[in-house]
Structure 1
Amino acid sequence: MRIGIVCPYSWDVPGGVQFHIRDLAEYFVRLGHEVSVLAPADDDTPLPPYVVSAGRAVPVPYNGSVARLNFGFLSAARVRRWLHDGAFDVIHIHEPTSPSLGLLACWAAQGPIVATFHTSNPRSRAMIAAYSILQAALEKISARIAVSEYARRTLVEHLGGDAVVIPNGVDVDFFAKAEPNPDWQGDTIGFIGRIDEPRKGLPVLMRALPRILAERPRTRLLVAGRGDEEEAVASLPAELRSRVEFLGMVSDADKARLLRSVDLYVAPNTGGESFGIILVEAMSAGAPVLASDLDAFAQVLDRGAAGELFANEDADALAEAALRLLGDPARRAELSARGSAHVRRFDWATVGADIMSVYETVAAGAAAVAADDAAGGATGLLARLRPARD
């Protein structure tokens, strides 16, 4: 099958949607399909062979963060050329309502379209104002996928219609088989995310840290992600700052090793999450997970059966739960075992097969419609050529 995938966000600034698209593309390539991904990218960004650059993106406030998007007349021309050259059997657009390549592709595409909705925004005036513009594009979509029940509910409330829920995928074995790093083991808490993006929740964890360190002074917090490290620890007493180790941006391999090494992974995110891929990665690595009780996180963690939850933005609740888990190796082992079993439903072997089923359904539907149109056209032509009877 010839598959065209549209990524709305810049390829050179990694994020959950980009990782999902990358892994999805590589999964289908391994199965022998022809895959092309259209994505914004700076000119000097090294790209995999299956990625086509649509040009440089610009930063735009979007979904409680700053996304790097691509829009405009030049981008539209590149989208049309990519669609023409690709002659795809199916076009898979991610975030078709974002002001980027997805919306442009939705307008321009003629073949069967599958759309995946990742966002869980509250209903906004901007969304209501844009409804009439978006509706014309959304009517061309043959099948809709939401990455979680929360994302599906957001889609229904914002734009009407419905979607099948297929979660983000993870290569579970990649994380499960990673080698722990001895330097990251022993009384360690892990955090992975953009340091200077408040909704990722690092400030909440920093507020909880003094209480944790008061009872467990040997504990270390390992932080992986980009951002201002000095600002991140500014709220901590000076004597505690050495207990926070910043690792910067880490490779996929080191991320897996980090998750395999820590005693506890904490996800203190405060909002704007429709899924929680980092929770799936942590469970894949066998890390016990403690997360804020966002609806999307609760769903991923099987309502607390595969990981513990604390009240969102409540630093005292986070500290209390973290101290209890750090002092209870048996409970951590139980969470690790439950998470490792639960996470198999998110493996690409399952998720990729579900997405391919959607592709095959819409492609078959498009072929049937084309055959009916061709048959109807031939019948009409014969009727016009047949002499009229008295």
Structure 2
Amino acid sequence: MKILFIHQNMPGQYKHLARRLAAEDGNQVVFVTKRDDRAIPNVRRITYRPTRAPHKETHPYLRSSEGAVLHGQAVARVLLDLRREGFVPDIVVGHPGWGETLFVKDVFPDTPFLNYCEFYYRSSGQDVGFDPSKPTEMDRILRTRINTGPLLQSLEACDRGMAPTEWQRSTHPAVFQPKIATIHDGIDTAALRPDPSIRVTLPDGGVLTRDDEVVTYAARNLEPYRGLPSFMRAIPLILEKRPNARILVIGGTGVSYGAAPTDGRSWLDTMLAEVPVDRSRVHFLGHLPYDGLLAALRVSRAHIYLTYPFVLSWSMLEAMALGCVVVGSDTAPVREVIQHGRNGLLVDFFSPQAIADTTAAVLAEPRDFAGLARAARDTVVAGYDLDLCLRRQSALIDAMTGREGRPPSRIPAAISPTERRTLALAGHDQARP
């Protein structure tokens, strides 16, 4: 079978699926991307570049759409070259977020196209307008509707879609939801296990173990979409309630979602100006290598995860797989996975006091919450395990390509430790911690 993947940040959500398909006898796998620094065994990588950026004179509502067309054109040129050399895929698997998949069905009209349905933006009821302290301007409402154009076109053109969670699937137009399957990217629960003997050495030389009162908070970038203001305002309250608590803050100071502060500072600097913290007990670790992130989560007694109604982070599920007690925001993406008091704890996104009180309770009596940690891991193993998700993804591809009932693939039953680490490191910056 010939499989074509399209994602500007190779491997993105396809780091495991592409590897598995490339390991099957007789498969040819091509990956079209903007990245030129990553490789997957047995996968041919083809890079592209848009010919230019959107014009400054383009209407502001249309700049992202123009960018999508430019990305789509650049990918279409690659696909035409592939067609000329005789490579016609049996299936195309792609992410529409940057416009790359806009013209897939125009170049390969008879090839099934599996669209990644990560999130469909709306002007109300989701991330836009979520924070009541920031009224939504009409300009943003109008721009949001126009910005969904490329997503809608790819969704209409695709043969099937795949969303990582049911809530993310539900953000898409109802008329198209029947052709979207809910299948998560997968969490490697075989590798992500609790480790009672874990030791973490901090930049100041201090060493933390599972006997310490460690709180973790992780995001790709520290920003409001992932609850940074509420978390920062909760820090002094946690430290006051638990004099021995140590807090590990993991993430960069850029902007992944939403807007940057208007004064040019980072959101972290903005919050530190409002909420000074004791740097001997609160450690801002920046971006960590994937192994470092996992070590921090393994030593954590309470992991705080806050998010707008938006894309669910891999890091929350990873924390659960590692046996963390998650103190999560009572928002739709989190509620899909965490049931309060059964496999985690839910708090008001906007209440630093509730975040602090709940976190302090976990720190004070870890044995009282040990059952939640075990149930959290069981939840991920049962519904989000990597092997389970890959089987579901493969079954969907087989159905789309008419290959149901084929014998099981002869591929390694497990990923070697070296391969596992390589894949994890390659995909970490695509995760949405």
TM-score by length of 2: 0.71
Q: For the Cα contact (< 8 Å) 1:204–1:314, is it kept in 2?
A: yes
Taking the aligned partners of 1:58 and 1:282, their CA distance within structure 2 comes to 38
Q: 1:28 aligns with which of 9, 21, 25?
A: 21
C-alpha displacement of 1:257: 1.6
Alpha carbons of structure 1 residues 241 and 4: separation in structure 2 relative to 1, 3 Å: same
Quick one: percent identity of the two aligned structures?
22
Match of 1:149 in 2: 166
C-alpha displacement of 1:204: 1.4
Q: For the Cα contact (< 8 Å) 2:169–2:177, is it kept in 1?
A: no
Alpha carbons of structure 1 residues 83 and 206: separation in structure 2 relative to 1, 3 Å: farther
| Cα deviation 1:105-137 (Å, max 9, x = unaligned) | 354333111112111532564565477776654
Alpha carbons of structure 1 residues 58 and 292: separation in structure 2 relative to 1, 3 Å: farther
User: What are the residue-to-residue correspondences of 1:1-390 with 2, within 5 Å?
Assistant: 1-7=1-7, 9-11=8-10, 19-32=12-25, 33-41=27-35, 45-48=37-40, 50=43, 51-55=45-49, 71=71, 73-82=73-82, 86-94=87-95, 96=96, 98-110=97-109, 111-123=111-123, 125-126=142-143, 128-129=145-146, 137-157=154-174, 161-176=178-193, 180-182=198-200, 183-185=207-209, 186-227=212-253, 230-231=269-270, 233-237=272-276, 240-273=278-311, 275-302=312-339, 305-344=342-381, 345-364=383-402
Alpha carbons of structure 1 residues 133 and 292: separation in structure 2 relative to 1, 3 Å: closer
C-alpha displacement of 1:241: 3.1
Taking the aligned partners of 2:157 and 2:199, their CA distance within structure 1 comes to 49
Unaligned residue ranges in structure 2 (runs of 5+): 55-59, 62-66, 124-140, 201-206, 254-265, 405-433
Alpha carbons of structure 1 residues 187 and 79: separation in structure 2 relative to 1, 3 Å: farther
More helix as a share of residues: 1
Alpha carbons of structure 1 residues 87 and 295: separation in structure 2 relative to 1, 3 Å: same
C-alpha displacement of 1:154: 1.0
Match of 2:129 in 1: none
TM-score by length of 1: 0.78
Q: CA RMSD in A?
A: 3.3
AA at the equivalent of 1:174? A
Unaligned residue ranges in structure 1 (runs of 5+): 12-17, 63-67, 367-390
Q: For the Cα contact (< 8 Å) 2:71–2:100, is it kept in 1?
A: yes
| Cα deviation 1:57-89 (Å, max 9, x = unaligned) | 979x99xxxxx9771643431243356664322
Give the number of equivalent residue pairs: 348
Q: For the Cα contact (< 8 Å) 2:156–2:176, is it kept in 1?
A: no
Rg: which structure is higher? 1
Taking the aligned partners of 2:148 and 2:276, their CA distance within structure 1 comes to 49
Q: For the Cα contact (< 8 Å) 2:49–2:71, is it kept in 1?
A: no
AA at the equivalent of 2:162? I
